[in-house]
Amino acid sequence: MNLLRAADKGCLTAAEAVAAGELFGISGNATRVALARLAAAGLVDAKTRGSYRLGQAGVALDNEVSAWRSAEARVVPWSGRWIAVLTTGLPRTDRAAWRARERALSLLGLRELQGALFVRPDNLDGGVASVRARLASLGVGAETPVFCADQFDDALDQQARQLWNADELMRSYRDGCARLTQWLAGAASLPEGIAAKEAFLIGDHAIRQLVFDPLLPDPLIDAALRRRYRDTVIAFDQQGRAIWSTFLAAARARTTVSAA
């Protein structure tokens, strides 16, 4: 799915996927099996024979994942209120549905406060209605209660504020800025295949961190440092996309020559 974002017009051929997999020591057969499983899950669709694009389920997930670039625009001042989601009564026997629900809660920065009660600061534009809609788009049923909570006692409020490790988050922002900036400075001297592999691994880690970033407000974290890290990741992602576009174009050209 990450490769589909870098592919020309959002379309990835099996040959391009196999060439990319080989960079990471993944066999062509394993890559094709992965594509088939993604297709079975509705995350990708076969556009033509041997050519894939995001499927309906993949588009919904990709829309949420891809929003990391503009996520700061969703942040509003925090009044101290919380958005709460109560998952009591939701079935756990359906493992696929349970995993999708856990992923959705994590994507929106929700953490479990007490038995099945998940919370996050109410500092996102649109408040409860927006969070409810985003959870629904990610497969969390409409029957799930999503509401605002603003009368925690002092002890519970302090417990909620400590659900996220702010020191670890800020350290990851600082270290990430340094690591990405250093790689970008030396990227031009790397062979094409090595540059593509490293850009994927380093960029994927950085983007995943931002995708699952809880977007905490200033009283809980240094939001300016988070914004600086996001700007650095955006610059890295632009360079990484250019590298992968070149790599996939070369793989496509080799396939065309072989077929001829």
The pLDDT, as a whole number, for residue 7 is: 67
Q: Which residues, at least 6 apart from 95, have a Cβ–Cβ distance to it below 8 Å?
A: none
Angle CA 56–66–218, to nearest 5: 135
pLDDT: which is higher, 92 or 17? 17
| Model-wide pTM > 0.85 | no
Residue 260 has pLDDT above 60, yes or no: no
Structure tokens at 131: 């969070």
Sheet of 51-54: strands edge to edge?
Answer: 12-13, 51-54, 44-48
Q: What is d(CA 252, CA 11) in angstroms, rounded to the nearest whole number?
A: 12
Domain ranges of the chain: 2-62, 81-149, 166-259
Residue 90 has pLDDT above 70, yes or no: no
Q: Which fold has domain 2-62?
A: Arc Repressor Mutant, subunit A (1.10.10)
For 102-124, b/e burial (b = at least 16 CB within 10 A) is ebbbebbbbeebeeebbbbbbbb
The pLDDT, as a whole number, for residue 11 is: 81
For the chain, where are the E strands, in sequence order?
12-13, 44-48, 51-54, 82-86, 111-114, 117-121, 146-149
The pLDDT, as a whole number, for residue 8 is: 66
* DSSP type of residue 118: E
Which residues lie across from 146 on neighbouring strands?
A: 85
Chain segment 223-244, per-residue pLDDT in tens: 999 999 999 999 999 999 899 8
CA atoms in the 13 A half-sphere facing the CB of 220? 24
Q: Do the first three CATH levels of 2-62 and 81-149 match, i.e. the same topology?
A: no
List the CATH code of the domain at 81-149.
3.30.70
How far, CA to CA in Å, does 23 sit from each of 8, 173, 211? 19, 28, 25
